[in-house]
Amino acid sequence: MIRVAILGATGYTALELIRILLRNPQVQITAATTRQEGSPHISSIHQSLTGRLDLCCEDLTVPQIIERADFAFCCLPHAASAAVISELLDGGLRVVDLSADYRLNDPATYEKWYKVTHPDPDRMAKTVYGLPELYGERIPGEQLIANPGCYTSTSILALAPLLAAKLIEPTGIIIDAKSGVSGAGRSAKQNILFAECNESFSAYGVGGHRHQPEIEQVLSDVSGEPVDVVFTPHLVPMDRGILATIYARPTSDVSSEDVLNVMREFYSGKPFVRVVDHLPATKDVSGTNYCHITARRTKGYVTVLSVLDNLIKGASGVAVQNFNLMAGFPETTGLDPA
């Protein structure tokens, strides 16, 4: 039995983590934290858990967490996360960090995009990036894993095979990405009210979203040369799901089928990435840990399409994949693959 703590238990990613972990009989969720006063029961924060998990969310200290748990999923905001994680690691816990704190290798890049000094900069470059399809072999032995961003996984899984095979130019890649609203979190903000987002579609962060340097860092690592992307996120009036439409210039006169074959080979044996022939919809993977990708040769470009559920394969599902690899469970435990 592994005792698990969820740090920052009030948001959507925490809820998904709990739902998935409840399927693993060898896991016991022993701690859930919040800054809310009064130690509310988890079912008053997530009504859907009524009768499924008997646990109160508490404002626990790090020593209390260390005492209660062997493993921690950290769903805290960036900077707050790293401030806690170094202590958790010192206390012997193993950690999957769902914040952005250990994704980037370079403290200067982090500070430029997140506008805050990193509390634990030395550990940044050493931390393995938790995308099991790329770094799965390095994950089992690690004490800390940096869980990827949702837009970044969607984009990286789509582009990695083509960059690794040098099928596309590494520069000027356009990633036009669209996400459901749950990606914006559960804090009360006017711009994500129902009556603001519903029946509306809009772009945001044009030319300056924080997932851009993360995508570039990982893809540069994959391709072995500097990758440069223009990333435009959009808000879709739906709960969950990301679709990325990606335009890259081919290095030679490849066909759609050439590109699909490279993708299929790259993901052979990977349980959660499916290369499909049809045009995928976010609904195809909603509520699952799958990523579906396809590609088409279009006039002057290779157009790649990639979909996943931002809360699962884009956050809590891949976090459990990482946890499974770290804890020695089958990679798919709790994640429902056929």
Q: Report 46-75 residues binding its own copies (CB under 8 A).
A: 47-53
Distance between alpha carbon 290 and the CA centroid of its chain, in Å? 12
Q: Rounded to the nearest whole angstrom, what is the least distance from the CB of residue 314 to its own copies in the complex?
A: 14
Distance between alpha carbon 226 and the CA centroid of its chain, in Å? 22
129 DSSP β-pair partners: 146
Q: Rounded to the nearest whole angstrom, what is the least distance from the CB of residue 28 to its own copies in the complex?
A: 12
**Choices 58-66, 123-131, 229-237, 320-328; region in contact with its own copies by CB under 8 A:** 229-237
Interaction of residue 26 with its own copies, rule CB under 8 A = no
266-286 in b/e form (b: 16+ CB < 10 A) is bbeebbbbbbeeeebebebbb
Contact with its own copies (CB under 8 A): which of 27, 139, 181, 263? 181
Residue closer to its own copies, measured from CB, 16 or 101: 16
Residues 236, 201: Cα–Cα separation, whole Å: 6
Contact with its own copies (CB under 8 A): which of 26, 203, 224, 257? 203
Residue closer to its own copies, measured from CB, 207 or 328: 207
The values of phi and psi at residue 271, to 5°, are -70, -20
Nearest to 209 by CA among 261, 162, 155: 155
Q: Rounded to the nearest whole angstrom, what is the least distance from the CB of residue 211 to its own copies in the complex?
A: 14
Interaction of residue 35 with its own copies, rule CB under 8 A = no
Interaction of residue 199 with its own copies, rule CB under 8 A = yes
Residue closer to its own copies, measured from CB, 99 or 179: 179
Contact with its own copies (CB under 8 A): which of 2, 12, 96, 315? 12
Q: Are residues 129 and 103 in contact, defined by beta-carbon separation less than 8 angstroms?
A: yes
Task: Show contacts with its own copies in window 98-157 (CB under 8 A).
Answer: none
Residue closer to its own copies, measured from CB, 154 or 322: 154
Phi-psi group of 326: left, alpha or beta (phi > 0 → left; psi -120 to 50 → alpha; rest → beta): alpha
Interaction of residue 312 with its own copies, rule CB under 8 A = no
Active site residues: 150
Q: How many CB atoms lie within 10 A of CB 265?
A: 11
Interaction of residue 265 with its own copies, rule CB under 8 A = no
Q: Are residues 278 and 297 in contact, defined by beta-carbon separation less than 8 angstroms?
A: no
Residue closer to its own copies, measured from CB, 87 or 284: 284
